[in-house]
Chains A and B, each alone.
Chain A
């Protein structure tokens, strides 16, 4: 594996006792849908001059310099690295354990919402408050809306509203 890419990935995602490092993950994954910009960035990063992973402080400083001087390449390279990392089963398992997120694709099971508390717009706000537009319809309809707030409107009633 290219030494610069190794350093790049290790610098972005050093890992911990809990989280796997990027080096353990990223090169395991193929991203067939990666964009041209991501692939070009990956190639460009492989030409960068970066300290080895055994010099983390110097590596961080070098990456900060590249981020400042060539942010487009840095950002696209980071997309590539993170894209691999955050779609890997090992990483998703840690997310599930640490964050309570069911680490599966959105479908087919979904992530249904369970409301803890029901909250409703308070009644004090229920004054009709849309702005009149200068038409007779607006005045008439707003008057009915104020006087009969519980009225259930039908398509038939609304079909009588047009002016043209």
Chain B
């Protein structure tokens, strides 16, 4: 048994996983979370105004939601807007739970394809932690995908394909393209005290039943049982260092604005790809004048988000897209790996999402043309329940134009400057979008859709926040090492999506959680 005071900043997907693993190993763990518990029963999916709330006080965009716990993220310099949540469980409270894994090649993009940066770890190092994470959170799906390395049997069967999924799956078979039922952190049978999903639809609003995993209902109960402490309403304003340059404490404010200081032997950042660089940069001091852990000047740089195109098909007959979880049921990774003849490096995946409720459909859903005025209702009847959308998720490469910086023109309630988000779609991903949209269009036509519309880049899809404190072996070009320790401040760890050296073309949460679990084990080993 080892002993150390560990303070974790952020209680989301990675902070929770790290807290559980570290606490079960005997470390003295305290987590500081600026938001509060978001109780599952508080989700508005039981209210008649649920769709309105989905775009107002329950919006994934903090600049729309304007919760007291949110900090400002200035996004007028970004074509994709942020989607984050501050509360116990972090952004997993408002996520869709799509849970694919990176592929082995995703960790070696520079050596295999000459783009981006390699990770100092590989898929095989993370594989046991993917498995551990799956067991804790509960994953629906089907093992045996020939497009990925093997994995253990999933905790529950995959989510049903539904009407649109059946059509698209059959079309994929006719085209001869790879596809597979999607892994999701969404239970289709009861597991670990949680019930099966009843297919209500909008996972992103929060899950009323607890069938969809979020860190507040998966990791946190276990972490608290293991002795971890969780302080809510605790907004960290800076990380402090001592004369030797090591991190010594964090300063935080409670909801009344009273300031507190918590000392620690190890400090762990788990604040997401925006919150983490914001706090590191805001913690600059004479010993670390460009911000903590930033001698490489890479903190905040290399922001990767995944440009996602939405390609929507409309069928003559109903596909009842309102039934089932809305964000996933199957995916194709047929175009995932580099093929130079396509004119871009790396690749993309296409996942089938279902459709939205009446209000969001009336507003056009994902790029559908539904006018106001005389023909509005006729058009609504043609579209509502008749559509499904293919999301084309493109790998993002690090680009100098895409970064997070501090902007003191706005501050949070405690005087910490806002994060400013700079993001435009880089050239490789732009070419990939063209190809992906063409593929998705071909697929929908094969599936019998009579009308197809496209949103080239979904503007609200800023939920995959990666790269802003990247992992690498060279302290001159990276922020953390393979153990998630910052090169400059060895007792300061970063375990969230900031450390991604590459973005892959899949949702990052399982990989983030595997990294956090591994980092906790390595910390324990290093202290032993």
Give the interface of A toward B (CB within 8 A).
11-16, 18-19, 31, 33-36, 38, 56, 60, 63, 78-79, 82-83, 85-87, 89, 91-92, 95, 98-101, 103, 105-122, 124-135, 137-138, 141-142, 144-145, 149, 151-155, 158-159, 161-164
Does B251 sit at the interface, judged by CB under 8 A?
Answer: no
Chain A CB count within 10 A is highest, among B161, B170, B177, B209, for: B161
Across the interface, do B150 and A153 meet the contact criterion of CB distance under 8 Å? Answer: yes
Secondary structure of the A side of the interface?
loop
Q: List 24 A-B contacts (CB under 8 A).
A: A14-B373, A14-B376, A33-B57, A86-B359, A87-B52, A95-B358, A101-B385, A103-B358, A106-B201, A108-B46, A108-B198, A113-B159, A125-B146, A129-B178, A130-B105, A132-B105, A137-B124, A141-B150, A149-B144, A153-B143, A158-B127, A158-B131, A161-B128, A163-B122
Closest chain B CB from A55 CB (angstroms): 14
Name the segment of B315-323, B393-401, B494-502 touching the other chain: B315-323
State which of B52, B124, B151, B363 has its C-beta within 8 Å of the C-beta of A153: B151
Q: Which A residues touch B259, using CB under 8 A?
A: none
Given contacts A33-B49, A87-B49, contact A162 B124 (CB under 8 A): yes
Give the interface of B toward A (CB within 8 A).
43, 45-53, 55-58, 64, 66, 103-105, 107-108, 111-112, 121-125, 127-128, 131-132, 135, 143-144, 146-153, 159-163, 166, 169-170, 172-173, 176-180, 197-202, 205, 208-209, 318, 320, 322-324, 337, 357-359, 362-363, 372-374, 376-377, 381, 384-385, 482
Closest chain B CB from A129 CB (angstroms): 5
Across the interface, do B45 and A107 meet the contact criterion of CB distance under 8 Å? Answer: yes
Q: Which residue of A lies closest to B150 (CB)?
A: A153
Question: Complex Cα distance A142/B105, Å?
Answer: 13
State which of B64, B146, B208, B359 has its C-beta within 8 Å of the C-beta of A87: B359
Across the interface, do B173 and A132 meet the contact criterion of CB distance under 8 Å? Answer: no
Closest chain A CB from B54 CB (angstroms): 10
Q: Which A residues touch B107, using CB under 8 A?
A: 133
Across the interface, do B64 and A138 meet the contact criterion of CB distance under 8 Å? Answer: no
Q: Which A residues touch B163, using CB under 8 A?
A: 116
Q: Which B residues touch A138, using CB under 8 A?
A: 104, 123-124, 149
Question: Complex Cα distance A161/B112, Å?
Answer: 21
Q: Which residue of A lies closest to B159 (CB)?
A: A113
Q: Which B residues touch A141, using CB under 8 A?
A: 124, 149-150
Chain A CB count within 10 A is highest, among B122, B160, B358, for: B358
Across the interface, do B173 and A33 meet the contact criterion of CB distance under 8 Å? Answer: no
Known pairs A115-B160, A125-B173, A159-B131 / 9 extra A-B pairs, C-beta < 8 Å: A12-B372, A14-B374, A33-B57, A111-B324, A130-B146, A133-B104, A133-B123, A145-B146, A155-B128
Given contacts A107-B46, A158-B128, contact A115 B162 (CB under 8 A): yes
State which of B66, B112, B358 has its C-beta within 8 Å of the C-beta of A92: B358
Q: Which residue of A lies closest to B170 (CB)?
A: A119
Q: Which A residues touch B323, using CB under 8 A?
A: 111-114
Across the interface, do A105 and B104 meet the contact criterion of CB distance under 8 Å? Answer: no
Across the interface, do B122 and A113 meet the contact criterion of CB distance under 8 Å? Answer: no
Question: Complex Cα distance A53/B51, Å?
Answer: 28
Across the interface, do B56 and A38 meet the contact criterion of CB distance under 8 Å? Answer: yes
Q: Which B residues touch A155, using CB under 8 A?
A: 128, 131-132, 135, 152
Across the interface, do B105 and A131 meet the contact criterion of CB distance under 8 Å? Answer: yes
Given contacts A111-B200, A164-B121, contact A121 B173 (CB under 8 A): yes
Chain A CB count within 10 A is highest, among B103, B163, B199, B373, for: B373
Across the interface, do B359 and A82 meet the contact criterion of CB distance under 8 Å? Answer: yes
Across the interface, do A108 and B208 meet the contact criterion of CB distance under 8 Å? Answer: yes
Given contacts A13-B372, A145-B149, A161-B124, contact A131 B179 (CB under 8 A): no
Q: Which B residues touch A122, using CB under 8 A?
A: 173
Across the interface, do A101 and B384 meet the contact criterion of CB distance under 8 Å? Answer: yes
Q: Which B residues touch A118, using CB under 8 A?
A: 166
Question: Complex Cα distance A132/B149, Å?
Answer: 10
Q: Which B residues touch A89, using CB under 8 A?
A: 48
Across the interface, do A87 and B48 meet the contact criterion of CB distance under 8 Å? Answer: yes
Across the interface, do A131 and B384 meet the contact criterion of CB distance under 8 Å? Answer: no
Closest chain B CB from A96 CB (angstroms): 10
Closest chain A CB from B242 CB (angstroms): 30
Across the interface, do A78 and B372 meet the contact criterion of CB distance under 8 Å? Answer: yes
Q: Which residue of A lies closest to B354 (CB)?
A: A113
Across the interface, do B198 and A109 meet the contact criterion of CB distance under 8 Å? Answer: yes
Question: Complex Cα distance A132/B381, Å?
Answer: 48
Question: Complex Cα distance A151/B151, Å?
Answer: 10
Given contacts A12-B376, A111-B201, contact A130 B153 (CB under 8 A): no
